[in-house]
Amino acid sequence: MKIALGCDHGGYLLKESIKNHLEKKGFECLDYGTHFTESVNYPLYAKKVGYSVANLECELGILCCGTGIGMSIAANKMQGVRAAVVSDTFSARATREHNNSNVLCLGERVVGESLALVIVDTWLEAEFQGGRHQERLDLVEQLERSLKYKTI
Ligand code: RB5
């Protein structure tokens, strides 16, 4: 499975650690940067990973920033992206099983490295349950389409 990775300066160390962890487990990682600790703007990296996942270049994506929140806000602006900020293993499992999230967002300043790696493993191992959850995601998709060119 190919996984897109991205981060800003606030999530750089965690992204590197996740990449190392995933490559050891045999996953192919496409690293969209940043590759440095200098300050950068997180939406640029959310966009790269979001496109990669939405265009099916990568099956899933992982984004790291200071909190995970900015990355999730930016990534969720993109059609077809279902990004979830997670800081516990229960939510990691639930957001795959129920929301079919395709992008995981983590905050380097929120979760420690060891917990983050368990969250990543839990998220990757969980499977979407479909059924009533698919009906709900269909409604989310309708919302996404209906609001695309309208203002409220
Ligand atoms: C950068 O300082 C920080 O704002 C960013 O990494 C992230 O936490 C935004 O949501």
In tens, the pLDDT along 96-148 reads 999 999 999 999 999 999 999 999 999 999 999 999 999 999 999 999 888 76
At 20, which CATH number?
3.40.1400.10
pLDDT of residue 44: 98
Of the residues 42, 73, 85, which should be mutated to test ligand 1's pocket, given the most ligand atoms within 8 Å of the CB?
42
Q: Which of the following is catalytic: 21, 98, 105, 133?
A: 98
Protein residue closest via CA to atom 10 of ligand 1:
70
Burial of 118 (0-12, 13-18, 19+ CB in 10 A): middle
Protein residue closest via CA to atom 8 of ligand 1:
66
Q: Is residue 65 part of a domain?
A: yes
Catalytic residue list contains 65? yes
Are 63 and 45 in contact by the 8 Å Cβ rule? The answer is yes
Are 105 and 6 in contact by the 8 Å Cβ rule? The answer is no
Q: Is residue 151 part of a domain?
A: no
Residue 62 has pLDDT above 70, yes or no: yes
Half-sphere exposure (CA, 13 Å, Cβ side) for 109?
10
Of the residues 12, 37, 65, which should be mutated to test ligand 1's pocket, given the most ligand atoms within 8 Å of the CB?
65
Percent of the chain scoring above 70 in pLDDT: 97
Bigger pLDDT: 11 vs 149 = 11
pLDDT of residue 28: 98
Distance CA 40, CA 36 (A): 9
Q: Is residue 127 part of a domain?
A: yes
CB neighbourhood size of 30 (10 A): 16
Mean pLDDT of 60-76: 98
Confidence of residue 151 (pLDDT cuts 50, 70, 90): low
Q: Is residue 37 part of a domain?
A: yes
pLDDT of residue 145: 87
Tell me the two tokens of residue 146. 């209906």
Distance CA 49, CA 26 (A): 20
Q: Which of the following is catalytic: 7, 64, 65, 105?
A: 65
pLDDT of residue 148: 66
Look at the chain and report how many structural domains it folds into: 1
Are 120 and 61 in contact by the 8 Å Cβ rule? The answer is no
**Which domain covers residue 95, as residue numbers?**
2-146
Protein residue closest via CA to atom 7 of ligand 1:
66
